[in-house]
Amino acid sequence: MLLVNYLTFEGFKGISTFSSSHDAAQRVQRDALNMLYRNNSGSLLVNLCVSLALVFGFVDNPEKFSKYIWLAGMSLVFIMRYLDMRHWQLNLQDHKYEPAKPMRRFAIGRYFTAAGLSLYSVWFFHSMDVIELASTVVIMSALAGGASTTLAANKWLAMSYAGVLLLPLSAISLFGDEQYQNTLGLLGLVFTFVMYSSAKRACQFTTESILVKNQHADLLIQMAAKNQEVVEANTNLESKVKQRAKKIFELSNIDPLTKLFNRKAFLKNLHGLLHEAEEKQQDLALLFIDLDGFKGVNDVHGHAIGDKVLIAISQRLIGQAHNHASLCRWGGDEFLIALENRTAVEAREFSTSLIKFLSQPIRLEEKLLNLGATIGIAMYPEHSANEIELIELADTAMYAQKQSKKSDVSVFNSTMRDALNREAKLKEGLREALTHEQFYLVYQPVVDSRNLQVNFCEALLRWELDGELISPAEFIPIAEQNGLMYEMGSWVLRQACLEASQWEFDDKVSLSVNVSVLQLVYSDIVAVVKSALEQSGLAAHNLHLEITESIFAEDLKRVIKQIKTLQLLGVKVSVDDFGTGFSSLSLLQRLSADVVKVDRSFVASLNKGGKAIIQATQYIAKELGYSIVVEGVETEQQARVLMAMGVNSLQGFFFAKPMRKTELASWHKQHLKGRMDTLN
Ligand code: C2E
Ligand code: MG
Ligand code: MG
């Protein structure tokens, strides 16, 4: 059994060199065994025919009966081999079976056949005549020859088969009494060795073929596995690339807070929508939505709540916009919606109901917050075919609407376009004016109500564009919005200080200069003031800076700090246009200004409640230690009333209109005297 074990797959040790896997080795062994079994039916038939021929072919042999017994034994071997072959055909050949056992069975079957035939030649040697012996030697040699190729898939079986079959007969013949027996014995012996070496070569060839075939198959499997790996790696890479692309897309296209599209993405989407609208010849309405009261929420409840409000508003907008791509957060509390195939009337209706929807209270952490929204609409193609311009126009419409009435909707119109064109013209002109020093200053005296002496003169900026005198009330906001205020304001300060130092008044007349909120918040105004004073030689206590109440809406801490530093220099601070802006008495208290200038609207409405407000301001100013100036005194009657009320200082056309530096001295000498006479 050990021998059989050894013989079963000898010759296939090489498989380990190309494949370390047990599977690969078994595959090679199965291939060899399959080859052996495929040749088996032919060899079984040949063996049966040979056996029958040996028994029934030589009728003169006296051992007939013994031959029958032998044939019966051989038949048993053949039946066993047949059954084994059928078992392989039915149960194994197309399966991935364990090859060791069937190989053993096969080898045993073939050895029994060889041994049986060999037994025949030895058993009946003495009863054979010369013809039968010669025929038997030829038959055995032919069988050995055939087996050297049909058994080539099993090295040891193939090489030993001829030996088992021929050696006993050759040996017995070689030592036989007759000459012909010796000759046949010798022939048999030689043939055995020839068959041995031919079987060896055939085995080598077959073994190599099987190995190469399997190496090939193995490589194919390895290649398939590698391919699979590559496919998997690619799939992984693809999904990673997809994820990464998604992340990058989100980072560059999605607003991280609201998850709505951001500016960049929306502009791209809008470009596409406009293109579509052009192809379909349809209208498109662009809605610019700005929340009302959002700043208040941020200031009062903090930015975390502000963020939640923006998220809640975004959710509401998502529910209203029909297409997610046509909605974006433009920035801060501004949102855009593009409505495809809508007329201006339809867009207005949509906006009105959207405002109602957005204005519903928002419940956040036990708080009920009320906000509104103002919407501006611009139409494609009526107003513009360009996405950026369309947004600007909708913004303009929204802004115009906010100026007149918040939480309502406005469609862009020609008046707005004119205003826009004028704004663009002024913007351009302002840049020119700055570089070419086209500005000049006028001064309006502010008089003491007791003796009508000039307390100070307010410097007011003047600008003429193409012969038209543009009001500072118009161009200053444009300068502020376009980042020109810092440069412009610094020029005013330097120029006013310089001119004031050359005034031909007595020393007591101070200079008052208007300062924009932006100068106080975003620029180093202290340094500018210092250098203006140094260059002009004007005393710090002779300089007033007028700040408007809108200052309170800005970065108050910084404003207060700047004001305190300026006051430490000796500069005085006035709160301008008091009563019109974001007045807050507590802030007025914190600011500790020197002068409060009451807005001229209260003088104009002196008999309709204005007087009461001026009196109240007087009272507060007195308590807080401020001096009070009332602006916009246009008539003698107004002047008399205000003087009787005990207002500290008065300013207005009744006393003097703003004038050039050169006119100040003569006005001071002549006109003031006349007014005094009138009043006395
Ligand atoms: P403001 O500081 O309140 O200046 C007073 C404005 O009222 C001046 O208008 C002045 O001409 C006008 N006014 C004076 N008395 C009367 C009167 O009796 N009746 C009427 N109806 N108006 C009177 P102006 O010069 O057009 O300036 C408008 C605003 O522009 C100023 O208001 C000020 O806020 C701003 N402004 C002017 N110059 C500058 C500047 O150099 N810098 C800054 N930041 N703002 C300036
Ligand atoms: Mg002023
Ligand atoms: Mg004023």
Least confident of 11-20, 42-51, 352-361, 410-419: 11-20
Contacts of 479 (CB under 8 A, 6+ apart): 430, 485, 488
Q: Which two three-digit tokens encode residue 306?
A: 């502000």
Residue 4: predicted pLDDT: 40
Average pLDDT over residues 44-52: 91
In a 3-state reduction of DSSP, which class is residue 630? strand
**Distances from the Cα of 205 to the Cαs of 16, 157, 161, 213, in angstroms?**
18, 15, 18, 12
Mean pLDDT across the chain, nearest whole number? 88
Buried-exposed string 109-135: b where 16+ CB fall within 10 A, e elsewhere: bbbbbbebbbebbeebbebbeeebbbb
- One-letter amino acid for residue 283 of the chain: D
- Which residue's alpha carbon is at the smallest distance from atom 19 of ligand 1? 632
Residue among 272, 260, 203 nearest 35 (CA): 203
Average pLDDT over residues 71-80: 93
Torsions phi, psi of 659, nearest 5? Answer: -140, 165
More confident residue, 236 or 565: 565
Average pLDDT over residues 474-486: 92
Using the mean position of ligand 1's atoms as its centre, give its distance from the Cα of residue 312 in Å.
43
Using the mean position of ligand 2's atoms as its centre, give its distance from the Cα of residue 428 in Å.
25
Residue 324: predicted pLDDT: 77
- If one residue of 439, 442, 460 were mutated to test the ligand 1 pocket, choosing by the most ligand atoms within 8 A of its CB, it would be 460
More confident residue, 672 or 60: 60
- If one residue of 514, 528, 597 were mutated to test the ligand 1 pocket, choosing by the most ligand atoms within 8 A of its CB, it would be 514
Give the confidence band of 14 by pLDDT, cuts at 50, 70, 90: very low
Distance CA(679)–CA(641), nearest Å, equals 12
Distance CA(244)–CA(256), nearest Å, equals 16
For 145-179, write each residue's pLDDT tens digit: 888 888 888 888 888 888 998 899 899 998 888 88
Give the confidence band of 672 by pLDDT, cuts at 50, 70, 90: low
Atom in ligand 1 nearest the alpha carbon of residue 496: 41
553 close to 524: Cβ distance less than 8 angstroms: no
For 180-199, write each residue's pLDDT tens digit: 889 888 888 888 888 888 88
Give the confidence band of 6 by pLDDT, cuts at 50, 70, 90: very low
Atom in ligand 1 nearest the alpha carbon of residue 460: 38
287 close to 377: Cβ distance less than 8 angstroms: yes
For 500-526, write each residue's pLDDT tens digit: 999 887 667 999 999 998 888 877 899
441 close to 477: Cβ distance less than 8 angstroms: no
- Which residue's alpha carbon is at the smallest distance from atom 8 of ligand 1? 460
Using the mean position of ligand 3's atoms as its centre, give its distance from the Cα of residue 399 in Å.
24
Atom in ligand 1 nearest the alpha carbon of residue 654: 18
Distance CA(580)–CA(293), nearest Å, equals 19
Ligand 1 is surrounded, with C-beta below 6 A, by 444, 460-461, 471-473, 476, 489, 492, 514-516, 546, 576-577, 600, 631-634, 651-653, 658
- Which residue's alpha carbon is at the smallest distance from atom 32 of ligand 1? 473
265 close to 253: Cβ distance less than 8 angstroms: yes
Give the confidence band of 2 by pLDDT, cuts at 50, 70, 90: very low
Contacts of 460 (CB under 8 A, 6+ apart): 441, 442, 443, 444, 472, 514, 658
- If one residue of 470, 631, 650, 655 were mutated to test the ligand 1 pocket, choosing by the most ligand atoms within 8 A of its CB, it would be 631
For 628-643, write each residue's pLDDT tens digit: 999 999 999 999 999 9
